[in-house]
Amino acid sequence: MIKVAVTGAAGRMGSGIIRKITQQDDMEVVAAIEIPNSPLAGVDAGIQAGAGELGVKIVGAEKLEETLKESKADVLVDFTIAHAAVETVKKATACGVNVVVGTTGFTDEQMAENIKNVKDNDVKAVISSNMSIGVNVFFNTLKKLTPILNDFDIEIIEAHHNQKKDAPSGTAKKAAELIAANSCKTEYLYGREGEVGARGNEICIHSVRAGDVVGEHTVIFAGNKERIELTHRAHSREAFAEGAVAAIRWIAN
């Protein structure tokens, strides 16, 4: 049985991941962590997530290390915010716990720190800007399309719900990185305003934050008389939760 700790346990993604884990035959939730000194501390994580009573109480992040040791978690899953996730990864890896991280918005320095902590503590990790299977197919398709359409103008449009904290999304940034690695376009531009002039070698990223959009990403390849649009739409956060479960199972084995 794979023992899983979940941070951000009362959030939308954390709750969804807890529900999904309870549906698996080979894994169980053994720890649920929320913000430091959380008012939800002591609440049953399963009841909070709508998964029924699990007998696992939510604890504040100030007790993360002792909770991981007591629960003997094999894997910690983090879908929170960048500055908190860096500390979580640091403490979890120091405890010898493998990590699955779907948090976005890491700076280059923060990601380097994550990688260093994983390597220094000799644990396993999956750190991805997007856990859905479809988005990873989207990434692979971009790798193939970009060299063929290298002389087309390339724009990225991403849309998410109005509560998402970071912009552009980690998925949009990853898409831009893949395009830059496979084309002559190496400059990133975020939106436009005023007299923008002629196109150069930029990849422009546009962010929309509105309503309850789960996640949409479109890459436009525009030529003189035609264009191709590659789009991924997430209809439900379950797509990310299912990807996280697949990552938990893969990393544990």
* Active-site annotation, residues: 160, 164
The alpha-carbon radius of gyration of the chain (Å, integer) is 20
Phi, psi (rounded to 5 degrees) for 44: -65, 125
- d(CA 154, CA 221) in angstroms, rounded, equals 5
The span from the CA of 11 to the CA of 26, in Å, is 24
Enumerate residues 6+ apart whose C-beta is below 8 A from 150: 182, 183, 184, 185
State the Cα angle at 56 between 50 and 126, rounded to 5°.
Answer: 85
User: Which of helix, strand or coil describes residue 187?
Assistant: strand
Number of DSSP helices (H) and strands (E) in the chain, helices first: 8, 11
Q: Comparing C-alpha atoms, which of 161, 139, 177 is closest to residue 216?
A: 161
